[in-house]
C-alpha cells in the first residue's frame, strides 16, 4: 500500500510539472536527488561527474515532461535517463579504474574483530562493488543498494526479468568471493547471507 502512495505522489507531482509548476519540480528533485547521486556515484566513482549527471537527468526530465507515459513508474523513467547518461560517461572513458581490494596489509587488526564488522568494511565493500563488471554492478546497485523491485530493474535496464535475477545473483556471488577473506573471522558473512548493503 505504501508503494502505491509513493507512485501516486510521483504521478501527482509530474502532472503539476507538466503544467509548468516549478514548486512540484523542485519537490521531485528533493525526493530523488540523493538516491540518484548514490546510484550514479557508485557507477562512475567521481563525485563531480555524478553531480553533473544528476543535474542533467533532472534537466531532461523537465525538458521531456510532456512525454512521460503514465502507464509506467516515474522512478523507472528517472533511473533510466540517469543510468543511460552514466553509461555514456563510462563509454567515453576508454578504460576503467580497478581497485586492488586485497591490498590490505597493515590492517589485519581492524579486520579480525571478533563478532563485529571490520571497521573498514564499508570502504572495502565500496571498492568491491566498483570492481564488478558494469552489467552486474548496475543490476546489483539498483536491486540491493537502491532496493528497486526486480521488475523495475528489468524495465530500467531493458532486459528480461530472469536476466536481472541472474545478474544480481552473479554480482552477490562475486562480491561474496571478494569479501569472504575479510569477513571470515568476524563470521559476519556466510554462504547463505546477503551482503550488508545497509552499511553503505
Residues 56 and 132 in one domain: no
Q: Structural domain of residue 116, as residue ranges?
A: 108-199
Residues 123 and 178 in one domain: yes
Residues 68 and 126 in one domain: no
Sign of torsion over alpha carbons 60, 64, 70, 71: negative
Asked if residue 99 is part of any domain, the answer here is no
Question: What's the mean per-residue pLDDT of the chain?
Answer: 78
> Nearest CA to 28 among 44, 15, 41?
15
Looking up residue 142, the CATH number of its domain turns out to be: 1.10.10.10
What's the number of domains the chain is made of? 2
Residues 191 and 117 in one domain: yes
Indicate the pTM of the whole model: 0.65
Residues 40 and 71 in one domain: yes
Looking up residue 39, the CATH number of its domain turns out to be: 1.10.1740.10
- pLDDT band of residue 169 (cuts 50, 70, 90) is very high
| Domain stops at, among 92, 120, 155 | 92
Asked if residue 88 is part of any domain, the answer here is yes
pLDDT digits (tens, 9 = 90+) for 68-120: 999 889 999 999 999 889 888 877 764 434 333 334 344 433 333 332 334 45
Residues 183 and 115 in one domain: yes
Q: How far is CA 50 from CA 16, 47, 99, 183, in A?
A: 27, 5, 19, 30
Does residue 22 register a pLDDT over 50? yes
Asked if residue 101 is part of any domain, the answer here is no
Amino acid at each position: 500500500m505504501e508503494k502505491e502512495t509513493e507512485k501516486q505522489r510521483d504521478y501527482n507531482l509530474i502532472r503539476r510539472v507538466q503544467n509548468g509548476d516549478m514548486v512540484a519540480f523542485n519537490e521531485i528533485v528533493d525526493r530523488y536527488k540523493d538516491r540518484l547521486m548514490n546510484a550514479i556515484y557508485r557507477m562512475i566513482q567521481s563525485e563531480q561527474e555524478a553531480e553533473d549527471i544528476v543535474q542533467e537527468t533532472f534537466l531532461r526530465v523537465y525538458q521531456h515532461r510532456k512525454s512521460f507515459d503514465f502507464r509506467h513508474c516515474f522512478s523507472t523513467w528517472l533511473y533510466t535517463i540517469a543510468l543511460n547518461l552514466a553509461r555514456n560517461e563510462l563509454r567515453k572513458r576508454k578504460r576503467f579504474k580497478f581497485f586492488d581490494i586485497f591490498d590490505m596489509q597493515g590492517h589485519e587488526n581492524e579486520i579480525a574483530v571478533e563478532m563485529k564488522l571490520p571497521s573498514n568494511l564499508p570502504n572495502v565493500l565500496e571498492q568491491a562493488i566498483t570492481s564488478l563488471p558494469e552489467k552486474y554492478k548496475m543490476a546489483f546497485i539498483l536491486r540491493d543498494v537502491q532496493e528497486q523491485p526486480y521488475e523495475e530493474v528489468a524495465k530500467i535496464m531493458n532486459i528480461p526479468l530472469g536476466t536481472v535475477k541472474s545478474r544480481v545473483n552473479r554480482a552477490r556471488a562475486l562480491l561474496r568471493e571478494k569479501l569472504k577473506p575479510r569477513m571470515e573471522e568476524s563470521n559476519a558473512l556466510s554462504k547463505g547471507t546477503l551482503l550488508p548493503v545497509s552499511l553503505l
